[in-house]
């Protein structure tokens, strides 16, 4: 939630290369700024995403005007125009992973097959405002150690910039996102459990989009009635499960049209469409042109 006093953190101030918009900043418990453009105690928002891991100490963080107690093991995802700041930098140690998901070639279609990824990176941010909750995950023991290790390895790769560091950095960031997503088992609140069920439905759609999925079958995956799933899914995503399934199928078809040599009929069948004419109509509805025209242009 931006205010007139909020500052904007620009990725260009943190990323070493526009081709690899990833950075890691460590903030030790100290009253002094730890790096250039350190906004730890100042209300700010980003033009990138940030994973904030509390590695030591305790204190509080204000996210969109709401204050949350924090302690070692807490991990926050800050996205879009969410504003945040820590109230006293002298009491906490942090590792900040800054990245621009829109400019990184991460395996998003595979990540969306993990229920926890859908909750943390999409559903929770989309519903945070209405629920008044922070997008926080509590890590401990081996999970915390693993996350900190991956972040420090990512920081080392970026700092040393040895040959191949770009590939290694993307692999480490992907590994961190997978690890964090796997750690998400759903908070105890009913809302958190419901979001995780929606995340499981999205994962099923991403994985089995070519199969003849039905609303009743997806409701069974979520363990709830069809009407209940429709309400939850629409509230979290703005669409129904079947509408989401259609978009996933069309997105996969567009990828095949760009990169493959399959015929349009073969692509339609591979993406779950039994009728190539219906596929062409829905493709035009979404992309504004026919599959054939899209392939020629791409």
| Residue-wise pLDDT tens digits, 207-266 | 999 999 999 999 999 999 999 999 999 988 889 999 999 999 999 999 999 987 899 999
| Residue-wise pLDDT tens digits, 263-297 | 999 999 999 999 999 999 999 999 999 999 999 88
| Integer Cα distance of 288 and 298 in angstroms | 14
Let me know whether 60 and 121 are in one domain.
Answer: yes
pTM (two decimals)? 0.78
Q: Give how many domains the chain has, as a whole number.
A: 3
Q: What is the pLDDT of residue 1?
A: 52
The answer to whether residue 1 sits within a structural domain is no
Let me know whether 234 and 125 are in one domain.
Answer: no
As to burial, measured by CB atoms within 10 angstroms (0-12 exposed, 13-18 middle, 19+ buried), residue 293 is: middle
> Domain limits at 56?
7-183
pLDDT at 129 over 50: no
Three-state DSSP class for residue 27: strand
| Residue-wise pLDDT tens digits, 143-172 | 999 999 999 999 999 999 999 999 999 999
pLDDT at 30 over 50: yes
Let me know whether 215 and 150 are in one domain.
Answer: no
Q: Are 225 and 216 in contact (CB under 8 A)?
A: no
What CATH number does the domain containing 289 carry?
1.10.10.60
What CATH number does the domain containing 168 carry?
2.60.120.10
Let me know whether 134 and 200 are in one domain.
Answer: no
Q: What is the pLDDT of residue 188?
A: 46
Let me know whether 15 and 97 are in one domain.
Answer: yes
The number of angstroms, rounded, from the C-alpha of 47 to the middle of its chain's C-alpha atoms is 15
| Integer Cα distance of 84 and 82 in angstroms | 7
Query: 267: Cβ–Cβ under 8 A, 6 or more apart, which residues?
Result: 253, 256, 257, 260, 279, 291
Q: What is the pLDDT of residue 38?
A: 85
Three-state DSSP class for residue 66: strand
**Residue 132 banded pLDDT, cuts 50, 70, 90:** very low
Let me know whether 162 and 198 are in one domain.
Answer: no
Let me know whether 52 and 176 are in one domain.
Answer: yes
pLDDT at 193 over 80: no
């Amino acid at each position: 939630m931006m205010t007139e006093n909020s500052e904007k953190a620009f990725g260009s101030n943190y990323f070493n290369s526009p081709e690899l918009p990833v950075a890691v900043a460590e903030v030790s418990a100290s009253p002094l700024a730890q790096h250039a453009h350190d906004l730890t105690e100042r209300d700010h928002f980003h033009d990138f995403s940030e994973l904030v891991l509390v590695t030591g100490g305790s204190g509080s963080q204000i996210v969109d005007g709401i204050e949350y107690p924090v302690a070692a093991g807490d991990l926050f995802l800050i996205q879009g125009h969410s504003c945040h700041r820590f109230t006293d930098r002298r009491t906490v140690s942090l590792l900040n992973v800054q990245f621009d998901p829109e400019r990184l070639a991460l395996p998003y279609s595979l990540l969306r097959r993990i229920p926890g990824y859908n909750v943390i990176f999409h559903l929770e941010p989309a519903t945070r405002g209405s629920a008044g909750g922070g997008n926080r995950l509590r890590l401990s023991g081996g999970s915390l150690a693993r996350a900190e290790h991956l972040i420090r390895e990512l920081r080392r790769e970026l700092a040393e910039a040895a040959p191949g560091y770009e590939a290694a950095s993307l692999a480490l960031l992907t590994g961190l996102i997978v690890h964090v997503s796997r750690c998400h088992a759903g908070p105890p609140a009913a809302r958190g459990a419901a979001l995780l069920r929606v995340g499981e439905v999205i994962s099923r759609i991403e994985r089995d989009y070519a199969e003849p999925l039905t609303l009743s079958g997806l409701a069974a995956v979520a363990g709830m009635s069809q009407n209940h799933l429709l309400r939850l899914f629409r509230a979290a995503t703005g669409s129904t499960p079947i509408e989401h399934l259609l978009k996933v199928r069309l997105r996969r078809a567009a990828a095949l049209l760009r990169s493959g040599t399959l015929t349009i009929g073969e692509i339609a069948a591979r993406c779950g469409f039994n009728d190539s004419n219906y596929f062409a109509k829905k493709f035009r509805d979404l992309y504004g042109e026919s599959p054939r025209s899209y392939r020629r242009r791409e």
